[in-house]
Amino acid sequence: MSADYSRELEFALRAVSHASELCCSVNGKISPDVLEKSDKSPVTIADFGSQALVSRILEEAFPDDPIIGEEDASELKQPDQMNFLNAIHAEMAVLGLHPTSEQIFHWIDRCSQKEYCDRFWTLDPIDGTKGFLRKGQYAISLALIVNGEVTVAAVGCPNLGSTVDDVPESIQGEVFSAIRGQGATARPIASLRNPESIKVSSRTATSEMVLCESVESGHSSHSHSAQVAERLQISADPVRLDSQAKYCVVARGEADIYLRLPTRPGYQEKIWDHAGGVLVVEEAGGTVTDVTGKPLDFRQGSELSNNRGVVVSNGACHDQIIEALKAVGVS
């Protein structure tokens, strides 16, 4: 008999919804506080707050499960970051929580596991921080990996309306979720009620397909994807949006393809940028591989070190994309 993951999904949904409340509150501010990490990428009080809240809920429900998350609290512990830390306390107080600073550090640093094990969660507390800062798309992505397989996923997209062009005014976004083997659903992130089943598109003619990709050309090569689009005779302009919302729009059939093509040698994709989205797309009937057509290998710790780039599709055109990538010299 296969294991029952309904409790894991229930807590994952609850954690993502709770974190999204904090993210929406911060996102409503004119300019949220931002720090620069050592790799020059931005991190906000919402990234830390979201990671702390999800971690807190998982610690209570599944105390033995390790978490591989994006952020750590080292920067926050610096005495010159007192104002930043106080802003996190203030956002938690809005949600009725009054932890000590030590508790906040503990929750954030509980997600500092790096090594692979048989059962662990992976968390991106805000995927698409740059999108968050532009008040565009971002996602809170949480996934449970069991024996190397993404098994449970909850991907919250607080700024995603019923179409990519429709940005909801208040907390009305959707959370996309799945348990392996049981299909994918979308439901309102605030109430978590009335899940609706989602499916990838049934389009087969590549000329009619919609391709989406990162906003930043530093995160995915726009020039290579334009060459692939030309080979597939795709006429529509690419849809550029931040975060794992790209996986979600493919999963609900609004787009057909998501390409993430390497921009520089040596960059390894991080598991938290993909795990949640991968399961949602696969359970909605789509296909996810790397640029060579290999499945993503979630057994390598925090990075997808056995893979290059990511290709997501409704399944119908997957082989054609892999061939096109070869022809334009990406693989």
Which residues here bind ligand PPS, judged by CB under 6 A?
Answer: 41, 70, 124, 126-131, 214-216, 218-219, 242-243, 263, 267, 270, 273
Neighbouring CB atoms inside 10 A of 326's CB total: 13
Which distant-in-sequence residues (6+ apart) come within 8 Å of 164 by Cβ? 137, 239, 241, 245, 249, 254
Task: Clarify whether 129 is annotated catalytic.
Answer: yes
Residue 283 binds to Mg ion (criterion: CB under 5 A): no
Q: Which is nearer to ligand PPS, 5 or 243 (CB)?
A: 243
Question: Pick the catalytic residue: 44, 122, 129, 206?
Answer: 129
**Measured between alpha carbons, how far is 273 from 48 in angstroms, rounded to an integer?**
16
Which pair of tokens denotes residue 298? 């979630």
Q: In the bound complex, what is the minimum distance in angstroms from residue 195's beta carbon to ligand PPS?
A: 25
Which of 8, 21, 70, 213 binds Mg ion (CB under 5 A)? It is: 70
Q: Which is nearer to ligand PPS, 262 or 315 (CB)?
A: 262
Position 57, amino acid: I
Question: Pick the catalytic residue: 47, 109, 242, 290?
Answer: 47
Q: In the bound complex, what is the minimum distance in angstroms from residue 102's beta carbon to ligand PPS?
A: 25
Q: Which does 148 bind (CB under 5 to 8 A by kind): ligand PPS, Mg ion, none?
A: none
- Alpha-helix runs per DSSP H in 238-308: 245-251, 275-283
Q: Which is nearer to ligand PPS, 70 or 254 (CB)?
A: 70
Q: Which is nearer to Mg ion, 154 or 234 (CB)?
A: 154
Which of 127, 174, 254, 290 binds Mg ion (CB under 5 A)? It is: 127
* Residue 327 Cα distances to 223, 306, 322, 330, angstroms: 14, 22, 9, 8
127 has binding-site annotation: yes
User: Interface mask (CB under 5 A) for Mg ion, residues 156-195, using x and -?
Assistant: ----------------------------------------
What is the footprint of Mg ion within residues 129-148 (CB under 5 A)? Answer: 129
**Measured between alpha carbons, how far is 21 from 267 in angstroms, rounded to an integer?**
32
Axis crossing angle, helix 82-94 with helix 6-27, rounded to the nearest 10? 120
What is the footprint of Mg ion within residues 106-125 (CB under 5 A)? Answer: 124
**Measured between alpha carbons, how far is 331 from 318 in angstroms, rounded to an integer?**
14
30 has binding-site annotation: no
Q: Segment contacting Mg ion (CB under 5 A): 65-73, 112-120, 225-233, 254-262?
A: 65-73
Q: What is the DSSP string of 160-213?
A: --SSTT---SSS--EEEEEETTS-EEEEETTT--S-EEE-------GGG--EEE
Q: Which is nearer to ligand PPS, 120 or 247 (CB)?
A: 247
Residue tagged 């992976």 (tokens): 122
Picking from 297, 304, 325, the residue whose alpha carbon sits closest to that of residue 313 is: 325
User: Which strand (E) or helix (H) includes residue 308?
Assistant: none
72 has binding-site annotation: no
Q: Which is nearer to ligand PPS, 110 or 130 (CB)?
A: 130
Burial of 191 (0-12, 13-18, 19+ CB in 10 A): exposed
256 has binding-site annotation: no
Q: Segment contacting Mg ion (CB under 5 A): 70-78, 87-95, 222-230, 280-288?
A: 70-78
70 has binding-site annotation: yes
Q: Helix (H, G, I), strand (E, B), or coil: what is residue 140?
A: strand
Residues in the chain: 331
Task: Clarify whether 297 is annotated catalytic.
Answer: no
Q: In the bound complex, what is the minimum distance in angstroms from residue 189's beta carbon to ligand PPS?
A: 18
Residue ranges of the binding site for Mg(2+): 70, 124, 126-127, 273
- Binding residues, as ranges, are 70, 124, 126-127, 273
Give me the residues that bind Mg ion (CB under 5 A), please. 41, 70, 124, 126-127, 129, 273
* Residues annotated as part of the active site: 47, 129
